[in-house]
Amino acid sequence: MDLELRHLRIVRAVAEAGSVSKAATVLGLAQPALTAQLKRIERALGGALFERDHTGARPTALGELVLTRARVLLPAARQLQEEAARFARFADNADGEQQRYRIGATNSPILGGLVDRLAAAHPNASVSTHTSWSANELSEMLMLGRLDFAAVGVCGDSSPPSGENLSWRSVALDAVCILLGENHPLAGEPEVELGALAQENWAVTPGDGCFADCFAAACARAGFTPRTIYETDVATCVHLAQLGRAVALCQATFRLTPGVTLLPIAGAPLRWRQVLGWHPESPAAEAAPALVVHAKAAHMDAVRRSQRYLNWLGAHPGFGTVP
């Protein structure tokens, strides 16, 4: 694993917070995820960076060396980003109209609609996209000026990737649903109790954040521990559901393909919040309010394509596109 700036930010956050659990809260990560990341960083650097016990975390000699370098490199990277952002302003027209939209997304239901709306509203602008399973990676790209906007999802009420001074706006709050093969015994139900799926295998797409922990907790409340979990791409999740080999967790706005049906989970124990982010000091920040409007409209379009979810929203007014 190559050392990256985000790894140095993690080391700095643990040192400043004085414990892994406090740093996880600051960074908006689950503690097990941060602990695993810290172990990977320590393996890459060749030794322990912190001495950890019940009182907290204290830097080792190696940790002090890394922190000394981090305190130089991180401000230098931030200064480079600011200088690059100022330079990038020359890409704008004299009338100030944004001429470039670089958008990152994590399996977002709004990305296609957002691109379509931007292309219609700004036919002379350059619109490009970058996809990743990692919201943290896209946050890093925003901070480094490699993206103008990022459309990502976060679990429930969790915070978006913290980054350094990034701005985030909520676009929608959706229920996490399931995909079943059309021949599954529960396929014709209006919704399904999570406990009714205790004997199923599961298919999920990868991601960072706390969703895996929240899913495990929801299953525990329903009285079971998930059996086999296949972590794979969207197409394979759908295929496994079609074959009846797994139940796939999916976003409520998922566009159905032949052979599968979408069901809400009773009580909506899992939620997924769509957010749009940008760096407030970047040239693109001036276009952010209009992007938020486009993103909300794109989400509403996605909702309208799913009559079942649209009907479900009628009985669950706390969900859907943010007004």
pLDDT the model gives residue 116 = 95
* Cβ proximity of 192 and 289 under 8 Å: no
Residue 94 pLDDT > 70:
no
Residue 239 pLDDT > 70:
yes
* Cβ proximity of 169 and 114 under 8 Å: no
- For the chain, the domains span 5-87, 95-171+273-321, 173-271
105-118 residue pLDDT tens:
998 889 999 999 99
Chain position carrying tokens 């521990």: 225
Q: Matching CATH topology for 95-171+273-321 and 173-271?
A: yes
Chain position carrying tokens 């980003």: 81
| 3 state DSSP class of 26 | helix
58-85 residue pLDDT tens:
999 999 999 999 998 988 888 777 666 6
Q: Which residues of 48-68 are buried (b: 16+ CB within 10 A; e: fewer)?
A: ebbeeeeeebebeeebeebbe
* Cβ proximity of 149 and 280 under 8 Å: no
Looking at residue 39, its amino acid is K
14-42 residue pLDDT tens:
999 999 988 888 888 888 888 888 999 98
Bridge partners, residue 278, by sequence: 167
Residue 293 CB coordination number (10 Å): 12
Task: Assign domain 173-271 to a CATH class.
Answer: alpha beta
Residue 153 pLDDT > 70:
yes
CA–CA dist 161, 253 (Å, integer): 23
Tell me which fold the domain 95-171+273-321 belongs to.
D-Maltodextrin-Binding Protein; domain 2 (3.40.190)
Determine what percent of the chain is predicted with pLDDT higher than 90: 57
Query: What confidence tier does 54 reach under pLDDT thresholds 50, 70, 90?
Result: confident
118-136 residue pLDDT tens:
999 989 889 999 999 999 8
Residue 90 pLDDT > 60:
no
Helix, strand, coil % over all residues of the chain, rounded to 5? 45, 20, 35
Q: Which CATH number fits domain 5-87: 3.90.420.10, 1.10.10.10, 3.10.180.10, 3.30.390.50?
A: 1.10.10.10
249-284 residue pLDDT tens:
999 998 888 999 999 999 999 999 999 999 988 888
169-211 residue pLDDT tens:
999 999 999 999 999 999 989 999 999 999 999 999 998 888 8
Residue 224 pLDDT > 90:
yes
pLDDT the model gives residue 31 = 86
Q: What's the rounded mean pLDDT across residues 129-144?
A: 90
pLDDT the model gives residue 164 = 61
Residue 71 CB coordination number (10 Å): 13
